Amino acid sequence: MAYEEIPDITLKMIINAGIIKIGTKVYSSPNNEIIGTLDKEGAITFEIDNKIKTFPFPSGAGRAITKTSINGWKYWRILDDGVYNELSYYKEKYKQNESQR
């Protein structure tokens, strides 16, 4: 049986809500060594092992870099007005917006 991530909130949902824009750059932590780009589906695309790869979920993208299980919502960050915010920050913003509906 293959492992399948079933997220409660996806980057696509956050993008569709207008909290993050398509094409936003995401930076690996802690040192911004890898820079990826978000597409309209919320997938992260970046170069690894001299190949351009796309990952549908942030944890899978982080795992490809670290070679270990990782929380992608904490691993990836967005530079916003000079501050690096973890993806989890935008997930919380989405939750707050949804709870106010």
The answer to whether 76 and 87 are in contact (CB under 8 A) is yes
Give the pLDDT mean for 70-98.
96
97: CB partners within 8 A, 6+ apart: 17, 19
Residue 27 has pLDDT above 70, yes or no: yes
Predicted TM-score of the model (pTM): 0.88
Report the number of distinct structural domains present in the chain. Answer: 1
Per-residue confidence (pLDDT) for residue 99, from 0 to 100: 82
Q: Is residue 8 part of a domain?
A: no
How many percent of the chain have pLDDT more than 70? Answer: 92
Strand locations in the chain, DSSP E?
Answer: 25-28, 35-38, 44-48, 51-55, 76-80, 83-86
Residue 50 is part of which domain span? 22-90
Task: Tell whether 95 is covered by a domain.
Answer: no
In this predicted structure, the answer to whether residue 4 has a pLDDT above a threshold of 60 is no
| 13 assigned to some structural domain | no
**Buried-exposed string 41-62: b where 16+ CB fall within 10 A, e elsewhere:** ebbbebeeeeeeeebbbbbebb
Residue 80 has pLDDT above 60, yes or no: yes
Q: Is residue 96 part of a domain?
A: no
Q: pLDDT tens digit string along 33-65?
A: 999 999 999 999 999 999 999 999 999 999 999
18: tokens are 């207008």
Asked if residue 29 is part of any domain, the answer here is: yes
